[in-house]
Amino acid sequence: MRKIVVTGPNGQLGKAVLKEYKNDADAELISISHREMPIEDLDAVLNKTAELDPDVIINCAGYTDVDGCEKNTHLAGRINGIGPRNLAIAAQKTGAKLVHISTDYVFDGCGDRPYVESDAPGPVSAYGRSKLVGEKYVESLCQKYFIIRTAWLYGDGENFVRSMLRLSESHDQVSVVDDQIGCPTSAAEVAKLIHYLEQTEQYGLYHGVCRGETSWADFAERIFSIKGIKAKVNHISSEEYVKMNPDSANRPHYSVLEDQMLSLIAPEDGGFQMATWQEAIKNYLKK
């Protein structure tokens, strides 16, 4: 039986991971809260992992408030950079596999084609920079690692989808940017990918997003359409959004990810393929 430690179990992805493994009789999942093991504290991480001696560490912990990271760069660096460093050191010491979650925001979004894993990153926000630091630490300090970059995540918690549904209850119209293009991704789909990868030895960097691409505005329209909501989506530019929200962080305009590495390791039977973003949001909203 695999002993699997999950950090950040109360977040969207952490909850999805716990649910995904519910029927895996060969996995013993141990949820570790920040109070039990603050990942930015190396001694705490080393002591706890030595005590538990896990086979796999799944790091779902992170400071994901993109705008908040601009105001709290030190905290972002501690949670998103130093935290993964400490987990990588611990994984290397115990021999555990480490699954670490990163983001499409490590890219600047200035390209015109989907980013593959070998493309050079260039984050334009404090959040993206802190996540890239975490990636580099994991790559350099741990041999058995899976870094999964995902994007526009939604699941059981506060997210864009729930914000749109909440706004539609009190507004006939909502304004959403239409010049940021990415891959809306269900936390449940990422959890499936984690479950698949951690049972392999195909270590490395992966892009794990729902297939296809869309804008935030078109995504909002799809959400309303599925739910039969009549609210209108006003398409606005990022420049207009910043004027309305002057403290917002820079975000990439085109951060579509392509899962090139996943397709390369897939066996002849088809391996693992994530759902399209259209399928995933439909499944999410019908639950």
115 is catalytic: no
The single residue of 127, 137, 206, 284 carrying the catalytic annotation is 127
DSSP-based helix, strand, coil % in the chain, nearest 5:
45, 20, 40
Closest CA to 206 of 123, 146, 125: 146
- With b for 16 or more beta-carbon neighbours within 10 A and e for fewer, the 102-119 pattern comes to bbbbbbbbeeeebbebeb
Bridge partners of residue 173, in order along the sequence:
232
Annotate 4-71 with DSSP letters as a single string.
EEEESTTSHHHHHHHHHTTT-TTEEEEEE-TTT--TT-HHHHHHHHHHH--SEEEE------HHHHHH
Residues involved in catalysis: 127
